[in-house]
Structure 1
């Protein structure tokens, strides 16, 4: 059990920090509340699970060997996530307003196209799972650890958005501040991912 503590510490530190997924779910929570955000949250978690499984299956090696393709992928991922943020740019939370609620499918693609999520997954396998690891460690442990962590911390960030809405109230200003912060983090994640590719 003690051998897994460094891995779990790494995962907690990575997924608790502000990232595109966390800030998107917080923005959604502030706009629509916790319960209406559950489908998007489930999509986020499922997408991360699929990402980690794809790394186990060797897709991470392909991404690592073609840095130019990874750079294009990073730009496209940034465009996709910023588009999702801007869909709710004018949302004010009025009772008669039709919200643009993001669902399961929208959340499903966030982690697979997020440079930060790829870096987290690749580091988890390269630094904490030995090449001769047992099947449990190599195939089950890392995806399951991320799954449990994301269930807790994505829900935490969503509740934080709900709390902001309660404290500040339904506000276009709050919505746009959260949107700007989220876009800033998305751009940072894209630039970070591109710089890593250039360093290879």
Structure 2
């Protein structure tokens, strides 16, 4: 059991620490607003992923992933939402991003709309299915591990963005570069 949980921890570290919409948006928010003003967005991200964990625990995950139309729809809706957040932040003439883009509500939507999040949690479920625990206990273990990883890594990306924003004196091109990278990542995701 210990080796299974350890492998789950490493999987969660890789998945929550690698570049993705949540991390890149946290970096953009940290760069333009500072980390503290991005905390509501972070709380939305964590809460949104909690909803996904719960949905998968009650069996909705298999339905979403196996239903190609729903899964593909999530892919495009998620991409459109993230591109919308990025472009609306890019359009700001000021170097400061509009605080209304990095709200709890917008953070709440990122992970439930993300097919990557659904796939990642379902993979985590399958990774520990051999542990002799109930579905609820396994789901709780996954939720705790991923929530800790998410708080650590989303915060790290937000703090890194804040450091970049301060290092370049909140330069509009720093903020825009991060948002453009986010948009390019989403386009790459759509094409693959």
| TM-score exceeds 0.5 | yes
Partner of 2:139: 139
In the alignment, the residues of structure 1 paired with residue 81 and residue 163 of structure 2 have an alpha-carbon distance, to the nearest angstrom, of: 27
Give the aligned CA root-mean-square deviation in angstroms.
1.9
Q: How does 1:6-85 map to 2 (within 5 A)?
A: 6-85=7-86
**How many Å apart are 1:176 and its aligned residue?**
1.4
User: Is the 2:17–2:153 Cα contact (8 Å) retained in structure 1?
Assistant: yes
User: How many matched pairs?
Assistant: 190
Which of 85, 93, 102 is the matching residue for 2:95? Answer: 93
DSSP 3-state at the match of 2:95: coil
Partner of 2:107: 107
**How many Å apart are 1:74 and its aligned residue?**
1.1
Gaps of 5+ in 1: 193-200
User: Is the 1:88–1:100 Cα contact (8 Å) retained in structure 2?
Assistant: no
> Deviation per CA, 1:58-111, whole angstroms, max 9, x where unpaired?
1111113311221122111111111011121034336xx864442100000101
User: Is the 1:115–1:190 Cα contact (8 Å) retained in structure 2?
Assistant: no
TM-score (norm. length: structure 2): 0.90
User: Is the 1:55–1:121 Cα contact (8 Å) retained in structure 2?
Assistant: yes
Gaps of 5+ in 2: none
> Deviation per CA, 1:147-169, whole angstroms, max 9, x where unpaired?
11111111100000001111112
**How many Å apart are 1:143 and its aligned residue?**
0.9
In the alignment, the residues of structure 2 paired with residue 135 and residue 66 of structure 1 have an alpha-carbon distance, to the nearest angstrom, of: 22
Verify: 1:127 aligned to 2:127, yes or no: yes
In the alignment, the residues of structure 2 paired with residue 166 and residue 35 of structure 1 have an alpha-carbon distance, to the nearest angstrom, of: 13
In the alignment, the residues of structure 2 paired with residue 173 and residue 61 of structure 1 have an alpha-carbon distance, to the nearest angstrom, of: 42
> Deviation per CA, 1:6-29, whole angstroms, max 9, x where unpaired?
000000011111000000010001
Q: How does 1:107-186 map to 2 (within 5 A)?
A: 107-130=107-130, 133-135=133-135, 137-186=137-186
In the alignment, the residues of structure 2 paired with residue 54 and residue 152 of structure 1 have an alpha-carbon distance, to the nearest angstrom, of: 23
